[in-house]
């Protein structure tokens, strides 16, 4: 049987979904994309679409990457158009590429960039409410930047992982954390080789606690060293988080 591997780059508003991964109840991004691909392969089992990151319920993406093995040879631009016709408007396939047969969106990923949006104005516009965390009080940006510096590098991030996770290797590398003012929003951009469940949201929640003056910047380093989830800050709401980019070591076609 003819098979080839496609690399999909997707954007989605995660508000209405239980996250990327299929769940026993509720619609997932993975499920909806697989259903949109199924008509391309009549009579065959539904294709499995593997995402680079398993974004949680309510988390969004502008640069999620997925891989799928398919048994058709339609031009990629035609595939993109056909999938988008079948998808709801809150999910879009931005690009379809032919990849080497062995390409795996999750295993081959070398890094990810997440952005968290904090709305700092007194009032949030209604159309923004599903995409930001509203933090209207003054934030000490310099204290937040000082706290963030302790997290850059390779560390054991057990204190910044959601409780109940089955992951035992909690060492990860954060390459950079940037705090960027964008109008009435403060963006926390975090780039690393991989992330634990809720890790970006817990880091953001902890930095906001520092910015509010509830803790000094050294508290974040102490929480990191202690490896205890209870020592770190709150988990920031899902709505403010966006997966912006997934990085790979080479082009999907092997070049």
Active site residues: 56
What the block records as the tokens of 43 is 């009579």
For β-strands 60-70 and 241-248, DSSP reports them as: parallel
Q: Are 109 and 248 in contact (CB under 8 A)?
A: yes
8 Å CB contact between 118 and 208: yes
Neighbouring-strand partners of residue 96: 8
Residues 171-178: contacts with CB within 8 Å, 24+ apart? Answer: 172/196, 172/199, 175/111, 176/152, 177/148, 177/149, 177/151, 177/152, 177/203
Alpha carbons 157 and 172: distance in angstroms, whole number:
7
In the three-class reduction of DSSP (H, G, I as helix; E, B as strand; rest coil), residue 129 is classed as coil
Map residue 161 onto helix, strand or coil.
coil
39: exposed, middle or buried (C-beta count within 10 Å: 0-12, 13-18, 19+)? exposed
The values of phi and psi at residue 222, to 5°, are -65, -40
């Amino acid at each position: 049987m003819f098979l080839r591997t496609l690399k999909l780059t997707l954007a989605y508003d995660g508000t209405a979904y239980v996250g990327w991964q299929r769940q026993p109840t509720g619609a997932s991004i993975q499920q909806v994309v697989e259903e949109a691909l199924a008509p391309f392969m009549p009579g065959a089992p539904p294709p499995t679409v593997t995402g680079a990151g398993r974004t949680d319920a309510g988390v969004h993406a502008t640069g999620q990457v997925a891989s799928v093995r398919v048994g058709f040879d339609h031009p990629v631009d035609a595939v993109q158009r056909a999938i988008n016709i079948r998808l709801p408007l809150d999910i879009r396939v931005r690009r379809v590429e032919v990849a080497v047969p062995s390409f795996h969106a999750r295993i081959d990923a070398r890094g990810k960039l997440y952005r968290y949006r904090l709305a700092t104005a007194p009032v949030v516009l209604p159309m923004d409410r599903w995409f930001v965390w509203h933090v209207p009080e003054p934030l000490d940006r310099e204290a937040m930047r000082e706290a963030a510096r302790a997290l850059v590098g390779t560390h054991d991030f057990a204190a910044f992982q959601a409780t109940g996770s089955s992951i035992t290797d909690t060492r990860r590398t954060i390459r950079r954390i940037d705090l960027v003012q964008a109008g009435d929003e403060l963006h926390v951009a975090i780039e690393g080789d991989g992330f634990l469940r809720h890790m970006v949201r817990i880091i953001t929640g902890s930095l906001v606690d520092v910015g509010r003056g509830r803790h000094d910047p050294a508290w974040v380093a102490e929480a990191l060293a202690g490896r205890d989830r209870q020592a770190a800050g709150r988990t920031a709401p899902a709505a403010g988080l966006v997966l912006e980019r997934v990085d790979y070591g080479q082009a999907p076609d092997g070049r």
